Structure 1
Amino acid sequence: MKHSTVSLARKVKFYQLVVFDQIVASGSLVKAAGALNITQPSLTKIVQELEYFFQAPLLVRGNRGVTATELGELISRRARSMLADLRALNDDVEAYRRGTSGYVLVGSLTSASMSAIPQALHLVKQRAPSLLVSLRVGQMNQLLSVLQVGELDLVVGRIPDDWGWRANVGDLAVVPLYHERLCVVAGRYHPLHSLPTSPWNLMHAYPWILPPRESVLRNSAENIFAKAGMAPPADFTESASILTNLALMQDNQTLSLLPSAVADPFVRSGMIKEVDVGEHLAYGQVGCFFAAHRKREPSLSLLVDCLKKVSQTTAPGDSAFSPAATLSIINH
């Protein structure tokens, strides 16, 4: 008699296969009953139910115990395969609950993707090697838009001073991480490096690289120029490409304003040098953004914990870190 998959699933219980596999492995009903902590009559009933369904003997009883028939061995072999998958499923579920497996989609500004996020990912991989993190770098307004519709789980970026810049941002939850500063940089042999302190009015004579107009960094740059009493550069190139910006600065004439986390590795390598402007240029606070209406999965919470730990113990790009604050809700 041929059984359909549906009828097999209805009639044969998974627990019956677990019991049968234990009997075959033990070679004894008594030992199997002890291992499973059930009575021998209950064990015998399960075997009889399986034999009735398959309409054939599954065990041969002898003086030294029981052995599987050819059909019984086939069923036992298949049962072991399914049990292995069940154990794997159980392990995966437990790992998911602990946050040590899963898939997290993260959006980030360039500054965070070059400092806090790489350090946090090292911690994540130590705690959860199976957790996959996919990173997308972009502008803040673009990243928050896709965060709202669920294409990202998390965005790491600067917390705006005025939330009016993004009228449709919706309800967001944010965990502040650390404070970032900005720095003026140029090629190693730029003339301004020879001055003890570089007056802002001298910088206007040189070409600049400025962030795109729609970026948060561009707004910060314009505020810094205004505070310093410097007219906005007349000769400038708009670029968000770090590699392009580095190449442009090799003329030892072009200036750029970068987050310290972005500039620092290239300053240490000798490709560019920070211009001494005689003051601290605050960029603002960087944090983790969430869609407030969505539940945070354990894997996402693990990544956030690692970001908070990095922010509290390390200072990439000479950023002045502050302890991460309690999760707050921003409503609009």
Structure 2
Amino acid sequence: MKSSVLTVSRKLKFYQLVVFDQVVQSGSLLRAAQILNMTQPAVTKVIHEIESYFTAPLLVRSNRGVRLTELGEVVLRRARAMLAELRALTDEVQAHHEGVSGHVVVGTLISASASLLPLALRLLKERAPQVLVSVRIGQFDQLFPALIVGEVDLVIGRVPDDWRGREESRTLGFDSLYEESLSIVAGSRHPLHDQAVSSLADLQAYPWILPPPGSLLRRTVNGLFAEADLPLPANVIESLSVLTNVALMQDQNTVGLLPMKTARQLSGQGGIRSFTFGTPLRFGGIGCFYAHNREPGPAARLFRECTRLASERHVISD
């Protein structure tokens, strides 16, 4: 039977999409039922109803859980976009009745999560304490698709150097917030902190923590070593976890990299120190990304304003 807007709209309900989305997130019908406070048969019934509307399976069940069919991926992408609009509608109505409240989901990268983001969140809570904020940390290949379909309202992080040529630039825009530099750091008692370190070559033989391949920061690091005509260090751990990296550097031997703002913040706690190379190492611009095709709710609009205010304070504090 051919599907149409009329036939689907008569049958499909938003709560069914919520259940479908939760099943995919949970990876199993049982876990989704527990999270939604439903019985497993009730969740199974909802999935069967949705599949009957589209006259094809959306999920493949196995002993390991569930996975999406090709059609299921199409339906999930559109369902999440509709649920994002429903969340925005709910926030708009709530704001009309009670003032700014609601829920904003923010994606962030290492470049902003330790310094700019906390300041922006404090400013938001000063203005609208009722707003619920969910923070999702990840890389661009995870956060940009989520922003496009509406799972995430805004993403704060480094602007890719090749942004104009990227596919995402057609559907996403960004507010330019500030320019960030890069610091090479180690434990505060690293032996070379008391010596004249003039280049990467002085540090290359030490153990290093590098960003994973494919991340924006890794491309920057690869460029730094290439410009210095040096191979990447041989003794490497790949990690983007700030807490893990700082802990590893407490051996007073391992060297790592952090955005300068983050390095300054952590240096004040005595755990790490930055090496000085004379000329600052450029990291790139930091921006607040948003979707062109979706009107943000009041909570997201307010948070976007708070990121701009936070960036102004950020720059003044340098």
Normalising by the smaller structure, the TM-score range is: 0.5 to 0.7
Task: Give the counterpart letter for 2:96 in structure 1.
Answer: E
- What is the total number of aligned residue pairs between the two structures? 228
Q: What is the match of residue 12 of structure 1? A: none
Q: What is the match of residue 291 of structure 1? A: 291
Q: What is the match of residue 160 of structure 1? A: 160
Q: What is the match of residue 311 of structure 2? A: 311
Gaps of 5+ in 1: 1-88, 319-332
How far apart are residue 252 of structure 1 and its match? 1.3
Encode CA deviations 1:265-285: one digit per residue, 9 max, x unaligned: 221111111111222011111
How far apart are residue 169 of structure 1 and its match? 6.0
**Kept in 1: contact 2:95–2:298 (CA 8 A):** no
**Kept in 1: contact 2:178–2:287 (CA 8 A):** yes
SS at match of 2:107: strand
User: Equivalent residues in 2 for 1:71-82 (5 A)?
Assistant: none
2:107 pairs with 1:107: yes
CA distance in 2, matches of 1:179, 1:90: 33
Q: What is the match of residue 280 of structure 1? A: 280
Task: Give the counterpart letter for 1:94 in structure 2.
Answer: H
CA distance in 2, matches of 1:283, 1:125: 29
Encode CA deviations 1:296-328: one digit per residue, 9 max, x unaligned: 22221111111101111234995xxxxxxxxxx
Task: Give the counterpart letter for 2:127 in structure 1.
Answer: R
2:176 pairs with 1:176: yes
Q: What is the match of residue 232 of structure 2? A: 232
CA distance in 2, matches of 1:268, 1:315: 18
CA distance in 1, matches of 2:96, 2:128: 12
How far apart are residue 142 of structure 1 and its match? 0.9
2:209 pairs with 1:218: no
User: Equivalent residues in 2 for 1:43-122 (5 A)?
Assistant: 92-94=94-96, 100-122=100-122
**Kept in 2: contact 1:261–1:317 (CA 8 A):** no
Q: What is the match of residue 199 of structure 1? A: 199
Q: Identify if the C-alpha distance between structure 1 residues 146 and 91 changes in structure 2 by more than 3 Å, giving closer, same or farther.
A: closer
**Kept in 2: contact 1:183–1:275 (CA 8 A):** yes
Q: Identify if the C-alpha distance between structure 1 residues 95 and 161 changes in structure 2 by more than 3 Å, giving closer, same or farther.
A: farther
**Kept in 1: contact 2:92–2:298 (CA 8 A):** no
Q: Identify if the C-alpha distance between structure 1 residues 231 and 317 changes in structure 2 by more than 3 Å, giving closer, same or farther.
A: farther
CA RMSD in angstroms, aligned pairs only: 2.4
How far apart are residue 196 of structure 1 and its match? 2.9
CA distance in 2, matches of 1:93, 1:254: 50
SS at match of 2:136: strand
**Kept in 1: contact 2:171–2:292 (CA 8 A):** yes
Q: Identify if the C-alpha distance between structure 1 residues 269 and 116 changes in structure 2 by more than 3 Å, giving closer, same or farther.
A: same
Q: What is the match of residue 54 of structure 1? A: none
**Kept in 2: contact 1:155–1:288 (CA 8 A):** yes
How far apart are residue 91 of structure 1 and its match? 9.3
Q: What is the match of residue 130 of structure 1? A: 130
Q: Identify if the C-alpha distance between structure 1 residues 227 and 302 changes in structure 2 by more than 3 Å, giving closer, same or farther.
A: same
SS at match of 1:130: coil
SS at match of 1:253: coil
Encode CA deviations 1:195-219: one digit per residue, 9 max, x unaligned: 2343321111111100011211101
State the structure with more CA Rg: 1
CA distance in 1, matches of 2:172, 2:260: 27
CA distance in 2, matches of 1:225, 1:275: 16
How far apart are residue 243 of structure 1 and its match? 2.1
Q: What is the match of residue 242 of structure 1? A: 242
**Kept in 2: contact 1:108–1:136 (CA 8 A):** yes
SS at match of 1:250: helix
Gaps of 5+ in 2: 1-90
Q: What is the match of residue 80 of structure 1? A: none
CA distance in 2, matches of 1:268, 1:101: 35
2:301 pairs with 1:301: yes
CA distance in 2, matches of 1:90, 1:238: 43
Percent identity among equivalent residues? 44
**Kept in 1: contact 2:209–2:254 (CA 8 A):** yes
Q: Identify if the C-alpha distance between structure 1 residues 234 and 151 changes in structure 2 by more than 3 Å, giving closer, same or farther.
A: same
**Kept in 1: contact 2:111–2:286 (CA 8 A):** no
